[in-house]
Amino acid sequence: MSSEIFKNRQNTDFPIKPYPFADINSRIFFIGSCFSENIFNNLINTGFECLNNPYGILFNPYSIALSLEKTASEYRYSAHDFTYHAGEFHSMHHHGSFRHKNAEILANQINRNIETAHEFLTKTDIAIITPGTAKVWQMRQPEMIVGNCHKIPDHEFTSRHLTETEIGKAYRDCIYYLRMINPKIRIMFTISPVKHLRDGIQENVISKSRLISALASLREEHEDIMYFPSYEIQTEELRDHRYYTEDLAHPTAWATEYIFKRFCEACFTESARHYIEETRAWLRMKNHRVMSQDPHEAEEWRRKCSEGLVKLKASFPAKETWPGEWI
């Protein structure tokens, strides 16, 4: 189903410059906000080779760039890199889930993630970077910008918005470190459509504006850097509160699906788009819950799933790898 049919035509048309850079065998790396996970999940579920957020969800450009710097240098974390709070060690460079009572266990987990990300990036075709906010939290002691506050009390931090100059440097650092690992990698930015409303609507607008303005300047310097307008689709094409969840900050499942369809139309080859549609149709059948207690019906469902996968593979002989769990 095309996005034009999928969307209620009561909204602003928003043409997008196509970048049909991805095919069915493209390896794609995602880093940034929680919105990147939505696109990642849709693609990984349809059999693409993808890796997402080795440092966990990161929202600001500085922390995203820092994580890529550590990955490019294959940095090895140890106990002295962590902050101890409430009986646990925390990595302030990472998402709040990166904590443990044992510093060695935490370091081993982080270092394995770095090794995996570095190896994946050496063979990655496309990296998609999704900053969500220009606001950063800076820890007082030791003094550093953190990826997440890890529920440490607010008085331990100060907050501010990165300047456009700082954001531009972070963007350029992202490009530099990705190409340090893989000179041939293609890079796309997209601004997360998730609103950050903790400090108010105006602060969110200022934050998003700085992200977008700095990115516009960057693309004047680097014409090969691609951009997909996730934020603009949500705020202009889907400019209605019905496309947000109850918190009025996160896109609904419908809106996320719509943006994903627009992403596929703009960024994938025709063959890859067809593959995604066919694979998702097969997965709906495979994931369907058989309610009947009749063993014959269950066997018939398994037969159809098996035949469907055989047909899918035959339809896309160029596909190099298939998920083992589908077999």
**Residues forming beta bridges with residue 31, ordered by sequence position:** 129
Least confident of 12-21, 48-57, 85-94, 126-135: 12-21
Residues 249-265 have pLDDT tens digits of: 999 999 999 999 999 99
- Give the count of beta carbons closer than 10 Å to the beta carbon of residue 235: 17
C-alpha to C-alpha distances, 324 to 170, 195, 209, nearest whole angstrom: 38, 37, 43
- Give the count of beta carbons closer than 10 Å to the beta carbon of residue 281: 12
With cut-offs at 50, 70 and 90, classify the pLDDT of residue 10: low
How much is the mean pLDDT over the chain? 93
DSSP letter for 243, please: G
Whole-number pLDDT of residue 12: 73
Whole-number pLDDT of residue 8: 54
Residues 186-198 have pLDDT tens digits of: 999 999 999 988 8
Burial class (CB in 10 A: 0-12, 13-18, 19+), 150: buried
Residues 226-251 have pLDDT tens digits of: 999 999 999 999 988 899 999 999 99
- Give the count of beta carbons closer than 10 Å to the beta carbon of residue 323: 12
With cut-offs at 50, 70 and 90, classify the pLDDT of residue 140: very high
- Kindly state the average pLDDT of the residues 208-222: 96
Residue 159 confidence (pLDDT) above 80? yes
Whole-number pLDDT of residue 289: 74
- Torsions phi, psi for 161 (to 5 deg): -95, 135
Whole-number pLDDT of residue 296: 84
For the chain, list the domains and their CATH numbers.
3-7+19-269 (3.40.50.1110)
Residue 30 confidence (pLDDT) above 70? yes
- Kindly state the average pLDDT of the residues 192-215: 93
**Residues forming beta bridges with residue 135, ordered by sequence position:** 161
DSSP, residue by residue, 199-240:
T-HHHHHHHHHHHHHHHHHHHHH-TT-EE--HHHIIIIIT-S
Residue 291 confidence (pLDDT) above 90? no
C-beta separation of 99 from 90 below 8 A? yes
Whole-number pLDDT of residue 5: 60
Residues 293-311 have pLDDT tens digits of: 778 888 888 899 999 999 9
Residues 91-124 have pLDDT tens digits of: 999 999 999 999 999 999 999 999 999 999 999 9
Whole-model pTM: value is: 0.92
Tell me the two tokens of residue 223.
């014409």
E strand residue ranges, the chain: 27-32, 49-52, 83-85, 88-90, 99-100, 126-130, 135-139, 144-146, 157-161, 186-189, 226-227
- Torsions phi, psi for 253 (to 5 deg): -60, -40
From CA 199, how far away is CA 203, in angstroms rounded?
A: 6
Whole-number pLDDT of residue 176: 98
Instruction: Identify the CA nearest to 136 among candidates 219, 77, 214, 64.
Output: 64
